[in-house]
Amino acid sequence: MNDDTSDRVNVTRRDITLFGISLIAGALACSPARAQSWPAKPVRLVVPFGAGSILDSMMRAMVNELGEALGQPFVIEARPGAGGSVGTASVARSPADGYTILVTGANHTISGAMYSNLPYHPITDFAPVASIASSGYALMVNSALPVNTVEEFIAYTREKKGLAYPSAGIGSNTHLAMALLVDMADLDMIHVPFKSTGDAITEVLSGRGHAMIGANVAIMPFLNDKRVRVLAVTTAERSRFMPEVPTIAESGLPGYEYDTWLALLAPAGTPRPIIDRINDAVGPILRNADVLERFTVLGIDPKPMTPEALGDVLKESSENMAKLVAMVGAKAN
């Protein structure tokens, strides 16, 4: 009887094992099939900021081409709120089926560094899908300052302590990029946060603010404005949008570099074949002449890469932003 019981137990275990193997094989077999049939309906592109943001404008510059490449409409859905965390959390909670994609940038890892109680983890709750572009920034000063180079700006600011630099808010790229310069150059400046880059620019134009760093798209219209002077760009190399403007590193502060990434992420667990289909579609789109022309207007550079490379960018950005947020004391909780 014991032998019979043992045989029955062994058979049951074997059946369970075979059943488990068949389930795994079935899942593996259907993943390519699911990717082949995807997309069978429109795909949502969630932008966690309002209409008109750089992320929104970037996707509108290529959304039609993306839909044509993959055979279904891609619909942009703005879900602003709480510094981008409302829309981002909605994607983290969405099914990992390829029908909800997050459009995000460096703000994604900045929020992760600033807030410890986010309803999602910026790295583990998302799968990297496709890098779209990078955005550089530029240093602009009020023309009343008697400076024409970064070197002169640093010397003058060290002498005239307490000059103000406005930004688009605590923890914004405009804040962190300028705070990095202030720290590296050992300056004594006062940070004045506003609600938008436009407000910060108005402050510098009026002379109430003395200097600021803003995204290329925000600074380029003022290259010939006599109220301000654009001293340098923040990227490691000169910008194709302002080739006559030197980098901060070459004109007075060696080692300085600040730019941001713009990319697509999906909920963690999204099938890799679906991710690969999106990534494969994005590459040719970023070589499309019409799309490149639209990107030029936005002051952003196309930057395609593999999902693995984008994953490395996310991790590096998370580490760098954590250090920078801690350095400037911007951590909120």
- Considering the chain, what percentage of its residues have pLDDT values greater than 70? 89
Give the angle 68-66-302 at the CA atoms, nearest 5°.
Answer: 140
pLDDT higher for 329 or 287? 287
pTM of the model: 0.85
Asked whether the beta carbons of 63 and 56 are under 8 A apart, the reply is no
Domain 39-134+260-328 has CATH 3.40.190.150: yes
Confidence label for 81 from pLDDT (cuts 50, 70 and 90): confident
In the predicted model, what is the mean pLDDT of residues 303-309?
Answer: 98
The pLDDT score that the predictor gives to residue 10 is 46
Looking at the predicted structure, is the pLDDT value of residue 136 above 80? yes
3-state secondary structure 235-248: CCCCCCCCCCCCEC
pLDDT > 60? residue 215? yes
Q: In this predicted structure, what is the pLDDT of residue 32?
A: 58
Question: Helix, strand, or coil here: 197?
Answer: helix
CATH code linked to domain 136-233: 3.40.190.10
Identify the sign of the CA torsion 122, 301, 255, 159.
Answer: negative
d(CA 287, CA 290): 9
Query: Cα–Cα distances in Å, from 206 out to 230, 232, 243?
Result: 15, 20, 27
Q: Which residues are within 8 A (CB) of 258 and not within 5 positions of it... i.e. 6 or more apart?
A: 137, 173, 176, 177, 180, 213, 234, 235
Q: Do the two domains 39-134+260-328 and 136-233 of this chain adopt the same fold?
A: yes
pLDDT tens for 95-119 read: 999 999 999 999 999 999 999 899 9
pLDDT averaged over every residue in the chain? 91
For residue 275, give the H/E element and its range: helix 272-285
Strands 163-167 and 189-193: parallel
Q: Please check whether residue 99 is in contact with residue 278, taking contact to mean a CB–CB distance below 8 angstroms.
A: no
**The one-letter amino acid at 327:** M
Tell me what pLDDT residue 116 has: 86
Domains of the chain: which residue ranges? 39-134+260-328, 136-233
67-94 average pLDDT score? 95
